[in-house]
Amino acid sequence: MTKLTVLDTTIAYYSRNENDYICLTDMARYRDATRTNYIIQNWMRNRNTIEFLGLWEQLNNPDFKGIEFDAFRNQAGLNSFTLTPKLWIEKTAAVGLVSKAGRYGGTYAHKDIAFEFASWLSVEFKLYLIKEFQRLKETEAAQLGWDIKRNLVKINYRIHTDAVKRHLVPAAVTDAQAALVYASEADLLNMALFGMTAAEWRRTNPDKDGNLRDYADAAQLVCLSNLENLNALFIREGLPQAERLIRLNSIAIHQMTLLGVDPVMKKLEGGKRPVGSSAP
């Protein structure tokens, strides 16, 4: 839940499924702080409001109940017609309005609808609301970009820092493994990082779908990407396959030692089980 201030009025809003919802109850306080429900209901009695809400739902909500909407539209404008946000939501399965209880309770509306309500309240209020809302969203976007950059810096810092505990570090390849001829460069990289080829993994994990890379964690995937780039460089330099395997394996051991315990990498893993680990 976030708050913004428009013409000395504090207004809450929140995001859900990448959609922003602004509190109409807070906005109504700009007109009359003691009769917010009445102001919202008075707005909803208007035929133009009903048609706007209905069209918005038809464009954005496949479960919207058009028959119930038609009934409300036919009654709009009559002196006896009344409509509350809760009744509108219950009868039409609307998603543009949300009725919340609790600490941040009140009527919330998708920003498209909230801006329409702001126009009804005051053109001046609407312009200031849009300006402040855009400013906050730009600040949020800038902060998100900063967080991503900061995490990437932390990851690269770990790669260049020593004295980190060992975790998921691949074993050194044996002379016998280095002497083998690998049919593909992919299996060469598998051996360097995971200590086995794709065929060997399938034989030892007959109950699992996919391949061993599908079960790699975030740290292993970062390391694998680095190994792929280095292997391409070694190929251009003309290094034989056995020598490339030994060098790539040594690099994998070093990088996994550094990356394995990095807290940022653990957050990026998202619960993926590393290759070779057993189920709990």
Extents of the domains making up the chain: 2-140, 175-269
Rounded Cα distance, 139 and 128, in Å: 17
pLDDT at 167 over 60: no
Q: Which amino acid is it at 86?
A: K
Question: CB neighbours of 54 closer than 8 A, spacing ≥ 6?
Answer: 64, 66, 69, 72, 73, 92
In 3D, which of 29, 79, 76, 78 has the Cα closest to residue 53? 76
- State residue 83's pLDDT score: 92
- Find, among 23, 28, 9, the residue nearest to 113 by Cα: 23
More confident residue, 91 or 178: 91
Say how far apart CA 20 and CA 30 lie, in whole Å: 20
Is residue 103 pLDDT above 80, yes or no? no
Q: What percent of the chain has pLDDT over 90?
A: 36
- Who has greater pLDDT, 113 or 169? 113
Taking the complete model, does pTM exceed 0.75, yes or no? no
Asked whether residue 145 carries a pLDDT value surpassing 70, the answer given is: no
> Are 32 and 39 spatial neighbours (Cβ–Cβ below 8 Å)?
yes
- At 205 the three-state DSSP class reads coil
Can you give the pLDDT at residue 198?
84
> What is the residue type of 242?
A
Better pLDDT: 31 or 211: 31
Residue 276 has pLDDT above 50, yes or no: no
Q: Where are the beta strands (DSSP E) in the chain?
A: 2-6, 9-16, 19-23, 97-100, 106-110
Q: CA–CA separation, 189 vs 228, rounded Å?
A: 7
Is the alpha carbon torsion for 235, 241, 246, 249 positive or negative?
Answer: positive
Check residue 156 and give its pLDDT.
58
C-alpha dihedral, 74 to 107 to 136 to 1, nearest 10°: -150
Lowest average pLDDT, out of 85-94, 138-147, 201-210, goes to 138-147
- Higher-pLDDT residue of 91 and 170 is 91
Tell me which DSSP letter residue 213 carries: G
Residue 184, pLDDT above cutoff 50 = yes
